[in-house]
Amino acid sequence: MDPCPFVRISVGNLALKIPVASKPARSVVHPSSSPCFCKIKLKNFPLQTAVIPYIPPDNTQFPEGQHQTLAATFHLCKSDLDRLVTKSIFTNKLHLKISIYTGRRGTTCGVNSGRLLGKVSAEPDPRFVFQFDGEPECSPQVFQIQGNIRQPVFTCKFSFRTTTGDRNQRSRSLQGEPSSSRTWLSSFGSERERPLKERKGWSITVHDLSGSPVAAASMVTPFVPSPGSDRVSRSNPGSWLILRPGDGTWKPWGRLEAWRERGSSDGLGYRFELIPDTKGSMSAASIVLAESTLSSHKGGKFSIDLGAGSNGRAASPVCSPRGSGDHGHGLWPYCMYRGFVMSASVDGEGKCSKPGVEVSVQHVNCTEDAAAFVALAAAVDLSMDACKLFSQRLRKELCQDQDLLG
């Protein structure tokens, strides 16, 4: 597989250092008493914001506990690069604009760019790009995209996983799984009382071109409405296990929880955590790598990025030592995953969703690595349907026979 070219532009180590006037004006808010923040803008890219620490005039280092690594990160694909380097009398030169503000009303601090302590660097960030050619519940093929070339690399098989009853509904790739595999599948699921309304047992298996299963996503906790409502609540989410083959069975690699947010957002809330390989022991704690919300109407992009200090909790893992994946060298999982890891585009409800997946080359060492991220993308997309209001009907591909009869 050949990667697509990407460039990652990082802005970091920003600080503000202003001499203190002997007779400061009373109407001026000084950064030593009021925190400052900056707005970082790169042409044609969304605005990003970050807090800027203040360094006293007599200091040459960051204050204790305020060291900043990354303030913003921009990811540029090939088409972005082509647009940026195009020479035209109608286009402005590429430039990065950093504006500093202080106070609640966003008044500028009055400092020109020459007094900023900052660093801008660009680095190659090649990625594998995959595209589903259909909705995950329709068992589509997955293509690798490189420019105008589309090459099939995976096939998906959607099915209903059942622990009892009709075994013919099980995916053929999972029929031969040992009883030990089914045991831990059920152990990850909830033992709560099953209500009449529930969405359960969904499973999607990713196969390579030879037909061998290389990854899977299995719904282990049913998606059920909270009492007195028609939505899956944050306090009682449904969940998926992302599985990889190993030692003749499926092994859990990650866990995805999803729910329907209340209020004005009314979006798909999600949390993804990595499950450590404990050689059969279930005692080690999982690590949250992404937690955010996608619009139920417009969709959005699920992202795992352990180096961006920008918008959303997904950009900064909640478990990291200082809120950045650049800290904690040698700590699991930061010895495995750093910087941009993957992203998946998801369409909103009622739309034909064909997820697009980007995976950093540095995190793919084998086919199973890429397939695991493809399975995760499928689980995120299917969660949009699983968290659909229970007052609305699902498409027939997502309903078991008894649901259609009901």
Question: CA–CA separation, 15 vs 63, rounded Å?
Answer: 10
Is pTM beyond 0.85? Reply is no
In 3-state terms, what secondary structure has residue 281?
coil
Q: pLDDT band for 36, please (50, 70, 90 cuts).
A: confident
Q: How far is CA 57 from the centre of its chain?
A: 40
Question: CA–CA separation, 157 vs 242, rounded Å?
Answer: 15
Check residue 3 and report its DSSP letter.
P
Residue the block writes with tokens 């961006």: 308
**Phi, psi at residue 45, to the nearest 5°?**
-115, 155
Radius of gyration for the chain, computed over Cα atoms and rounded to the nearest angstrom: 24
Nearest Cα to Cα of residue 174 among 217, 113, 130: 217
Question: CA–CA separation, 200 vs 27, rounded Å?
Answer: 61
Mean pLDDT, the chain, rounded, equals: 76
Which one is predicted more confidently, 150 or 92?
150
Q: How many other CB atoms sit within 10 Å of the CB of residue 48?
A: 20
In 3-state terms, what secondary structure has residue 76?
strand
CA distances from residue 101 to 56, 322, 390 in whole angstroms, order as listed: 18, 24, 46
Question: CA–CA separation, 311 vs 49, rounded Å?
Answer: 8
- Please tell me the least confidently modeled range out of 7-21, 54-68, 349-363: 54-68
Percent of the chain with pLDDT over 70: 66
Q: Which amino acid type is present at position 339?
A: G
Tell me the per-residue pLDDT of 189-234, one tens digit each, with 9 for 90 and over: 544 444 458 899 999 999 999 999 999 999 999 999 999 889 999 9
Token pair in block for residue 305: 């990025």
Question: CA–CA separation, 338 vs 121, rounded Å?
Answer: 17
Q: How far is CA 33 from the centre of its chain?
A: 36
Tell me the per-residue pLDDT of 335-365, one tens digit each, with 9 for 90 and over: 577 788 999 999 988 888 899 999 999 899 9
Judged against a pLDDT cut of 70, whether residue 98 lies above it is answered with yes
Tell me the per-residue pLDDT of 232-277, one tens digit each, with 9 for 90 and over: 999 999 999 999 998 889 999 999 999 999 877 789 999 999 998 7
Question: CA–CA separation, 385 vs 394, rounded Å?
Answer: 7
What are the DSSP E strand ranges found in 324-391?
340-346, 356-360
Judged against a pLDDT cut of 90, whether residue 110 lies above it is answered with no
Q: What is the pLDDT of residue 71?
A: 81
Q: Find the mean pLDDT for residues 110-136.
A: 73
In 3-state terms, what secondary structure has residue 57?
coil
Token pair in block for residue 379: 């689980």
Q: Which amino acid type is present at position 322?
A: R
Interacting residues of 140 by C-beta distance below 8 A, sequence separation 6+: 132, 133, 134, 155, 156, 354
